[in-house]
Structure 1
Protein backbone atom coordinates (compact mmCIF):
# COMPACT_ATOMS: atom_id res chain seq x y z
CA UNK A 1 0.00 0.00 0.00
CA UNK A 2 1.35 3.40 -1.03
CA UNK A 3 2.83 5.50 1.79
CA UNK A 4 2.58 2.79 4.48
CA UNK A 5 5.23 3.02 7.20
CA UNK A 6 5.89 1.10 10.41
CA UNK A 7 7.18 2.29 13.76
CA UNK A 8 7.09 1.51 17.46
CA UNK A 9 3.90 2.90 18.98
CA UNK A 10 3.93 5.90 21.29
CA UNK A 11 1.53 6.70 24.09
CA UNK A 12 -0.06 9.30 21.80
CA UNK A 13 -1.13 6.42 19.51
CA UNK A 14 -3.14 4.65 22.22
CA UNK A 15 -6.45 6.32 21.39
CA UNK A 16 -6.26 5.19 17.75
CA UNK A 17 -5.02 1.72 18.75
CA UNK A 18 -7.85 1.07 21.22
CA UNK A 19 -10.38 2.40 18.71
CA UNK A 20 -9.16 -0.21 16.19
CA UNK A 21 -9.22 -2.98 18.80
CA UNK A 22 -12.82 -2.15 19.65
CA UNK A 23 -13.95 -1.78 16.04
CA UNK A 24 -15.01 -5.33 15.27
CA UNK A 25 -17.59 -7.85 16.47
CA UNK A 26 -15.37 -9.55 19.05
CA UNK A 27 -13.41 -6.47 20.08
CA UNK A 28 -16.53 -4.48 20.78
CA UNK A 29 -17.41 -7.02 23.49
CA UNK A 30 -14.07 -6.98 25.29
CA UNK A 31 -12.53 -3.53 24.80
CA UNK A 32 -13.53 -0.23 26.45
CA UNK A 33 -13.01 2.59 24.00
CA UNK A 34 -13.98 5.71 25.88
CA UNK A 35 -12.43 9.09 26.61
CA UNK A 36 -10.42 9.32 28.62
CA UNK A 37 -9.11 5.81 28.01
CA UNK A 38 -9.27 3.49 31.00
CA UNK A 39 -5.99 3.55 32.91
CA UNK A 40 -5.48 -0.18 32.24
CA UNK A 41 -4.52 0.59 28.63
CA UNK A 42 -1.92 3.13 29.72
CA UNK A 43 -0.49 0.74 32.31
CA UNK A 44 -0.24 -2.04 29.70
CA UNK A 45 1.44 0.34 27.24
CA UNK A 46 4.02 1.37 29.86
CA UNK A 47 4.79 -2.27 30.68
CA UNK A 48 5.12 -3.24 27.00
CA UNK A 49 7.33 -0.24 26.26
CA UNK A 50 9.63 -1.04 29.19
CA UNK A 51 10.13 -4.66 28.10
CA UNK A 52 12.89 -5.12 25.49
CA UNK A 53 11.22 -8.37 24.37
CA UNK A 54 7.89 -6.72 23.54
CA UNK A 55 7.14 -4.33 20.71
CA UNK A 56 3.86 -2.61 19.98
CA UNK A 57 4.11 -1.73 16.29
CA UNK A 58 1.84 0.58 14.33
CA UNK A 59 1.33 0.89 10.60
CA UNK A 60 0.76 4.48 9.49
CA UNK A 61 -0.31 6.36 6.43
CA UNK A 62 0.90 9.92 6.93
CA UNK A 63 0.20 10.57 10.63
CA UNK A 64 -2.82 8.26 10.87
CA UNK A 65 -2.44 4.88 12.57
CA UNK A 66 -4.10 2.28 10.32
CA UNK A 67 -2.79 -0.95 11.84
CA UNK A 68 -1.33 -2.40 15.00
CA UNK A 69 0.31 -5.58 16.27
CA UNK A 70 2.22 -6.66 19.33
CA UNK A 71 5.27 -8.85 18.90
CA UNK A 72 6.73 -10.72 21.87
CA UNK A 73 10.15 -12.35 21.64
CA UNK A 74 10.60 -15.37 23.92
CA UNK A 75 13.61 -17.58 24.62
CA UNK A 76 12.79 -21.28 24.90
CA UNK A 77 14.65 -24.26 26.30
CA UNK A 78 13.10 -26.38 23.54
CA UNK A 79 14.52 -26.31 20.03
CA UNK A 80 18.00 -26.07 21.53
CA UNK A 81 17.34 -22.80 23.31
CA UNK A 82 16.03 -20.97 20.26
CA UNK A 83 13.97 -17.79 20.33
CA UNK A 84 10.49 -17.43 18.89
CA UNK A 85 8.24 -14.50 18.15
CA UNK A 86 4.54 -14.33 18.95
CA UNK A 87 2.22 -11.95 17.14
CA UNK A 88 -0.85 -10.75 19.05
CA UNK A 89 -3.50 -8.07 18.79
CA UNK A 90 -3.36 -7.57 15.03
CA UNK A 91 -5.92 -5.07 13.79
CA UNK A 92 -6.35 -2.81 10.82
CA UNK A 93 -8.55 0.26 10.60
CA UNK A 94 -11.88 -0.51 8.93
CA UNK A 95 -11.10 2.17 6.32
CA UNK A 96 -8.16 0.15 4.96
CA UNK A 97 -9.32 -3.45 5.39
CA UNK A 98 -8.76 -5.50 2.26
CA UNK A 99 -6.11 -3.09 0.96
CA UNK A 100 -2.97 -4.97 1.99
CA UNK A 101 -2.24 -3.39 5.37
CA UNK A 102 -2.70 -6.67 7.26
CA UNK A 103 -0.41 -8.50 4.85
CA UNK A 104 2.19 -5.76 5.20
CA UNK A 105 1.95 -5.88 9.02
CA UNK A 106 2.55 -9.63 9.12
CA UNK A 107 5.36 -9.43 6.56
CA UNK A 108 7.00 -6.73 8.68
CA UNK A 109 6.66 -8.93 11.80
CA UNK A 110 8.26 -11.89 10.01
CA UNK A 111 11.24 -9.77 8.96
CA UNK A 112 11.53 -8.34 12.48
CA UNK A 113 11.52 -11.85 13.97
CA UNK A 114 14.26 -12.91 11.56
CA UNK A 115 16.32 -9.86 12.49
CA UNK A 116 16.02 -10.84 16.16
CA UNK A 117 17.28 -14.36 15.38
CA UNK A 118 13.98 -16.16 15.95
CA UNK A 119 13.62 -19.66 14.53
CA UNK A 120 9.81 -19.58 14.56
CA UNK A 121 6.97 -17.08 14.49
CA UNK A 122 3.57 -17.97 15.86
CA UNK A 123 0.15 -16.45 16.37
CA UNK A 124 -3.35 -17.38 17.36
CA UNK A 125 -6.71 -16.33 16.02
CA UNK A 126 -10.12 -16.72 17.55
CA UNK A 127 -12.08 -19.67 16.14
CA UNK A 128 -14.92 -17.22 15.52
CA UNK A 129 -12.74 -15.59 12.83
CA UNK A 130 -12.60 -18.15 9.98
CA UNK A 131 -11.72 -15.47 7.41
CA UNK A 132 -8.77 -14.42 9.54
CA UNK A 133 -7.59 -18.03 9.80
CA UNK A 134 -7.66 -18.31 5.99
CA UNK A 135 -5.76 -15.00 5.75
CA UNK A 136 -2.95 -16.33 7.95
CA UNK A 137 -2.86 -19.62 6.05
CA UNK A 138 -2.43 -17.69 2.78
CA UNK A 139 0.61 -16.05 4.38
CA UNK A 140 2.17 -19.46 5.10
CA UNK A 141 1.06 -20.08 8.69
CA UNK A 142 -0.09 -23.61 9.48
CA UNK A 143 -2.35 -24.88 12.25
CA UNK A 144 0.19 -27.38 13.59
CA UNK A 145 -0.83 -27.27 17.27
CA UNK A 146 -4.03 -27.07 19.24
CA UNK A 147 -4.02 -23.99 21.47
CA UNK A 148 -5.81 -23.85 24.79
CA UNK A 149 -6.72 -20.88 26.96
CA UNK A 150 -8.26 -20.47 30.36
CA UNK A 151 -9.67 -17.17 31.60
CA UNK A 152 -8.51 -16.20 35.08
Structure 2
Protein backbone atom coordinates (compact mmCIF):
# COMPACT_ATOMS: atom_id res chain seq x y z
CA UNK A 1 0.00 0.00 0.00
CA UNK A 2 1.44 3.36 -1.01
CA UNK A 3 1.56 6.40 1.27
CA UNK A 4 -1.22 7.95 -0.83
CA UNK A 5 -3.36 4.83 -0.36
CA UNK A 6 -2.76 4.88 3.40
CA UNK A 7 -3.68 8.57 3.57
CA UNK A 8 -6.86 7.93 1.56
CA UNK A 9 -7.85 4.99 3.81
CA UNK A 10 -7.18 7.12 6.90
CA UNK A 11 -9.27 9.97 5.50
CA UNK A 12 -12.12 7.59 4.73
CA UNK A 13 -12.01 6.20 8.25
CA UNK A 14 -11.97 9.68 9.75
CA UNK A 15 -14.84 10.69 7.47
CA UNK A 16 -16.86 7.70 8.73
CA UNK A 17 -16.16 8.65 12.35
CA UNK A 18 -16.89 12.37 11.86
CA UNK A 19 -20.09 11.52 9.98
CA UNK A 20 -21.27 9.34 12.89
CA UNK A 21 -20.74 12.16 15.39
CA UNK A 22 -22.52 14.58 13.03
CA UNK A 23 -25.40 12.10 12.66
CA UNK A 24 -25.79 11.83 16.43
CA UNK A 25 -25.94 15.63 16.62
CA UNK A 26 -28.30 15.81 13.63
CA UNK A 27 -25.78 17.97 11.76
CA UNK A 28 -26.14 17.88 7.96
CA UNK A 29 -23.99 15.52 5.93
CA UNK A 30 -22.39 18.36 3.91
CA UNK A 31 -23.00 16.72 0.55
CA UNK A 32 -21.97 19.90 -1.26
CA UNK A 33 -18.48 19.84 0.34
CA UNK A 34 -15.78 18.00 -1.66
CA UNK A 35 -15.13 14.57 -0.17
CA UNK A 36 -11.50 15.34 0.67
CA UNK A 37 -12.71 18.18 2.95
CA UNK A 38 -15.99 16.68 4.16
CA UNK A 39 -14.61 15.08 7.33
CA UNK A 40 -13.03 18.33 8.53
CA UNK A 41 -16.22 20.22 7.62
CA UNK A 42 -18.34 17.80 9.68
CA UNK A 43 -15.90 17.99 12.58
CA UNK A 44 -16.07 21.79 12.51
CA UNK A 45 -19.88 21.72 12.38
CA UNK A 46 -20.01 19.38 15.39
CA UNK A 47 -17.49 21.27 17.55
CA UNK A 48 -19.71 24.00 19.00
CA UNK A 49 -22.83 21.85 19.56
CA UNK A 50 -20.70 19.29 21.42
CA UNK A 51 -19.21 21.87 23.76
CA UNK A 52 -22.52 23.66 24.34
CA UNK A 53 -24.21 20.62 25.86
CA UNK A 54 -24.24 20.14 29.59
CA UNK A 55 -24.22 16.38 29.03
CA UNK A 56 -23.97 13.90 26.22
CA UNK A 57 -25.86 10.62 25.95
CA UNK A 58 -23.85 7.44 26.36
CA UNK A 59 -24.14 6.71 22.63
CA UNK A 60 -21.72 9.58 21.93
CA UNK A 61 -18.75 8.17 23.80
CA UNK A 62 -17.44 5.53 21.37
CA UNK A 63 -17.95 7.69 18.25
CA UNK A 64 -16.14 10.62 19.91
CA UNK A 65 -13.21 8.42 20.85
CA UNK A 66 -13.06 6.86 17.39
CA UNK A 67 -13.17 10.29 15.72
CA UNK A 68 -10.38 11.52 18.01
CA UNK A 69 -8.22 8.49 17.26
CA UNK A 70 -8.86 8.51 13.51
CA UNK A 71 -8.44 12.27 13.09
CA UNK A 72 -5.19 12.51 11.13
CA UNK A 73 -4.43 16.03 12.33
CA UNK A 74 -3.08 16.23 15.89
CA UNK A 75 -4.19 19.86 16.09
CA UNK A 76 -7.84 18.95 15.58
CA UNK A 77 -8.40 15.69 17.45
CA UNK A 78 -9.02 18.00 20.42
CA UNK A 79 -12.42 18.78 18.87
CA UNK A 80 -13.54 15.30 19.89
CA UNK A 81 -11.46 14.73 23.02
CA UNK A 82 -12.45 17.95 24.77
CA UNK A 83 -16.24 17.41 24.78
CA UNK A 84 -15.66 13.80 25.85
CA UNK A 85 -13.55 15.03 28.77
CA UNK A 86 -16.30 17.35 29.93
CA UNK A 87 -19.15 14.90 29.42
CA UNK A 88 -17.56 11.60 30.45
CA UNK A 89 -14.49 12.54 32.50
CA UNK A 90 -10.75 12.34 32.03
CA UNK A 91 -10.52 8.86 33.54
CA UNK A 92 -12.90 7.29 31.04
CA UNK A 93 -11.36 9.11 28.05
CA UNK A 94 -7.84 8.08 29.04
CA UNK A 95 -8.95 4.49 29.64
CA UNK A 96 -10.43 4.33 26.14
CA UNK A 97 -7.22 5.72 24.63
CA UNK A 98 -5.21 3.19 26.63
CA UNK A 99 -7.35 0.43 25.11
CA UNK A 100 -6.58 1.73 21.61
CA UNK A 101 -2.87 1.80 22.50
CA UNK A 102 -2.92 -1.77 23.78
CA UNK A 103 -5.16 -3.47 21.22
CA UNK A 104 -5.46 -1.17 18.23
CA UNK A 105 -3.97 -1.32 14.78
CA UNK A 106 -0.78 0.60 14.08
CA UNK A 107 -2.87 3.55 12.85
CA UNK A 108 -5.12 3.42 15.92
CA UNK A 109 -2.13 3.33 18.27
CA UNK A 110 -0.68 6.38 16.53
CA UNK A 111 -4.06 8.13 16.78
CA UNK A 112 -4.35 7.26 20.46
CA UNK A 113 -0.94 8.84 21.06
CA UNK A 114 -2.07 12.03 19.30
CA UNK A 115 -5.31 12.14 21.29
CA UNK A 116 -3.55 11.35 24.58
CA UNK A 117 -1.91 14.76 24.50
CA UNK A 118 -5.35 16.42 24.29
CA UNK A 119 -6.66 14.27 27.15
CA UNK A 120 -4.55 16.42 29.48
CA UNK A 121 -6.38 19.66 28.67
CA UNK A 122 -7.29 21.69 31.73
CA UNK A 123 -11.02 21.65 32.38
CA UNK A 124 -12.59 25.03 33.09
CA UNK A 125 -16.04 25.84 34.38
CA UNK A 126 -16.38 28.72 31.91
CA UNK A 127 -15.64 26.45 28.94
CA UNK A 128 -18.53 24.02 29.19
CA UNK A 129 -21.95 23.79 30.83
CA UNK A 130 -20.96 20.23 31.79
CA UNK A 131 -19.81 21.67 35.09
CA UNK A 132 -22.34 22.12 37.86
CA UNK A 133 -23.70 25.67 38.25
CA UNK A 134 -21.09 26.33 40.96
CA UNK A 135 -18.25 25.40 38.61
CA UNK A 136 -17.45 22.08 40.26
CA UNK A 137 -17.95 18.46 39.34
CA UNK A 138 -17.34 15.03 40.76
CA UNK A 139 -13.55 14.78 41.03
CA UNK A 140 -13.67 10.99 40.57
CA UNK A 141 -14.47 11.60 36.89
CA UNK A 142 -11.01 13.07 36.41
CA UNK A 143 -8.83 10.98 38.75
CA UNK A 144 -6.60 9.11 36.37
CA UNK A 145 -3.12 8.76 37.88
CA UNK A 146 -3.30 4.96 37.69
CA UNK A 147 -4.38 5.14 34.03
CA UNK A 148 -1.44 7.45 33.28
CA UNK A 149 0.89 4.91 34.90
CA UNK A 150 -0.62 2.12 32.77
CA UNK A 151 -0.25 4.31 29.67
CA UNK A 152 3.42 4.92 30.38
CA UNK A 153 4.02 1.21 30.97
CA UNK A 154 2.14 0.16 27.82
CA UNK A 155 3.71 2.90 25.74
CA UNK A 156 7.20 1.85 26.81
CA UNK A 157 6.43 -1.79 26.11
CA UNK A 158 5.13 -1.07 22.62
CA UNK A 159 8.09 1.21 21.88
CA UNK A 160 10.44 -1.56 22.94
CA UNK A 161 8.81 -3.89 20.41
CA UNK A 162 9.49 -1.47 17.58
CA UNK A 163 5.84 -0.42 17.23
CA UNK A 164 4.82 3.17 16.67
- Is TM (by shorter chain) over 0.5? no
Structure number with greater CO (CA < 8 Å, separation at least 6) is: 2
TM bucket by the smaller chain? 0.3 to 0.5
Structure-2-length-normalised TM-score: 0.31
Q: Which structure shows the higher helix fraction?
A: 2
Q: Which structure shows the higher strand fraction?
A: 1
Structure-1-length-normalised TM-score: 0.32
